[in-house]
Amino acid sequence: MNPEILVLGLTWFVVFIFSTTLHEAAHALVAHKLGDSTAYHGGQVSLNPIPHIQREPIGMLLVPLSSFAAYQNWMIGWASAPYDPRWAYSYPRRAAWMSLAGPAANLLLVLISGGIIRIGMAMGAFAPLPRVPFDHLFAVTNGPGGVVVPLSILFSLNLILFLFNLFPLPPLDGSGVLPLFMNERMAQRYLEFTHNPAFSLIGLLIAWKAAPYLLWPLFEMAVRILYA
């Protein structure tokens, strides 16, 4: 593996760790504010990645590094924050806000990185490219070229995390958001129904198969907006 690939892999890994840590910290913080301190006592209300890695070492270390070694242009993985299912059942709408907090954190990073890119283009420092891989969304015409890859990955990765996690399928966050649109009794029945681990496995399989057909067009649309 040449030095350029190593630097690219390190950049992907740093952005991945930061993005997933913020995602799970947002879940944990909102749960703590709304009455469930399970993740708070586990150390997850923190931007320190160590407690998050300790909880999910495979999803935050092994799988991301292995996926980049295999593809060298992408990194996948996962993280999680614990919560009390009894609290979620008793307060389904609060649990729904907790579920929404993670994708909202990713959306915030999309808006920040996208805003920086837009400002750079407006100032003439950045220019669009005819072809846009995830880690090279723009070219630098005036300024340090080293900002291209981190900013591009921050935008691309968090956009994918935001969209993928909003799929309304268990165990993804989008499934947990649905009780916001139900009355309390219906929401409790829904949580009982989706608590079965078999539904989580089926949901992941469906989301994984559907993702290429849904996420890529949405990514291209977001890039067009970024270039507009």
pLDDT at position 1: 61
Lowest mean pLDDT across 3-7, 12-16, 94-98, 156-160: 3-7
The tokens for 185 are 């009794």
CA separation, residue 40 to residues 29, 89, 90, 131, 137 (Å): 7, 19, 19, 43, 37
Give the bridge partners for 128, in sequence order: 138
What's this model's pTM, rounded to 2 decimal places? 0.95
The region that residue 80 occupies, defined by phi over 0 for left and psi between -120 and 50 for alpha, beta otherwise, is beta
Domain span including residue 72: 3-227
| Per-residue pLDDT reduced to its tens digit, 209-224 | 999 999 999 999 999 9
Task: Specify the number of domains making up the chain.
Answer: 1
| Per-residue pLDDT reduced to its tens digit, 96-106 | 999 999 999 99
H/E element, 127: strand 126-128
Query: How far is 93 from 183, CA to CA, in rounded Å?
Result: 9
